[in-house]
Copies of this chain bind each other. A is one copy, B any other.
Amino acid sequence: MIMRTLIISLLSIGAIAAPATALAANEPIQPIEAAKPKNADMVELGKMLFFDPRLSKSGFISCNSCHNLSMGGTDNLPTSIGHKWHEGPISAPTVLNSSMNLAQFWDGRAKDLKEQAGGPIANPGEMGFTHELAVDVLRSIPEYRTRFKQLFRSDKIDIGMVTDAIAAFEETLVTPDSRFDKWLKGDKKALNQAELEGYKLFKESGCTGCHNGAAVGGGSFQKFGVHEPYKTTSKAEGRFAVTGKDADRFMFKVPTLRNVELTYPYFHDGAAATLEEAVDTMGRLQLGRTFSKEENAKIVAFLKTLTGKQPEFKLPILPPSTNETPRPKPFG
């Protein structure tokens, strides 16, 4: 009896698993896998750094200020607020699933998360600090010294260790188990009729030409404004800023559409307030196609099924500064 139950269980696991894999393999979008952190202590240190406002000149701004993990990993602003309320030149992308990007930033100027993470600390319009001062702050705090020493077996702390740890934390910021992924894995009831029709439209009209893979984007640079030019007051020129090639003018990294329900407003200038507006613009500019109100609503309904399980963790408790810690300069 026990044996029979076991065999049936094994069979039924197989029965679910087989079509799931088959299904996903035929689709242009693959499910997101849960993070498998290699080094839990490194992830914990990276999380602390991600939340630590002492990596900024003011002592007020942390990575989480602009990539708020309560809010889909972004600030939900057209352009970001930085040091001294500086208005940034471009909209902040989510850090969720950013490990799947072919490169970091809208223009791909950082090759990976580690290279990216040094940027904002020293950017005068973001955290407004220097790498040296940020590292001085960490060095002055015994708990940070201990943690870095345990992980890097060195008595000194350098910015490379800081960005290693932040990147390790960011790699855990994936969002599996969206309703769409459940559907991909074989749960036919996970999507309703409108959502399924939206997905069909998304595939058949050509969106998946650019938005594909597990991240539903993030895999290539593409021109924004294929059929008609995109009108914007933003000065960003995309990939051209990196390569200097005329052909790269207005080529932007295709953003992930995972959790796009949470990452309003849309586009590199944050000009589209709603998902309806973004889908309409994409249809017209990228595909030369004007969606009806019903079609647009179905695509939007599908896109909302891409909201996955948000990373869950305890708010980190940060070790206090000491008398040796350089003090923040918010108004200096």
A interface list, Cβ under 8 A from B: 51-53, 58-60, 65, 68-72, 75-77, 81, 84-85, 87, 261-262, 264-265, 273-274, 276, 310, 312-318, 320-321, 323, 327-328, 330-331
Stoichiometry, copies per complex:
2
| B60/A321 in contact, CB under 8 A | no
Q: Determine the main DSSP class of A at the interface with B.
A: loop
| B77/A60 in contact, CB under 8 A | yes
Instruction: List B contacts of A65 (CB < 8 A).
Output: 60, 65
| A77/B51 in contact, CB under 8 A | no
User: Known interface pairs A70-B317, A320-B262. Does A59 touch B87 (Cβ–Cβ under 8 Å)?
Assistant: no
| B264/A71 in contact, CB under 8 A | no
A321–B52 Cα distance when bound, in Å, is: 26
Shortest 6 CB-CB contacts between residues of A and residues of B: A85-B85, A70-B318, A310-B317, A315-B315, A262-B320, A60-B81
Instruction: Report the minimal beta-carbon distance from A95 to chain B, rounded to whole angstroms.
Output: 14
Name the contact of A323 in the complex, choosing from B69, B87, B276, B323 (C-beta under 8 A). Answer: B276
| A75/B51 in contact, CB under 8 A | no
A98–B59 Cα distance when bound, in Å, is: 23
From A69, A320, A327, A331, residue with most partner B Cβ within 10 Å = A320
From A51, A264, A317, residue with most partner B Cβ within 10 Å = A317
Instruction: Report the minimal beta-carbon distance from A315 to chain B, rounded to whole angstroms.
Output: 5
| B72/A59 in contact, CB under 8 A | no
Instruction: List B contacts of A69 (CB < 8 A).
Output: 315
Name the contact of A84 in the complex, choosing from B85, B273, B312, B315 (C-beta under 8 A). Answer: B85
A264–B324 Cα distance when bound, in Å, is: 13
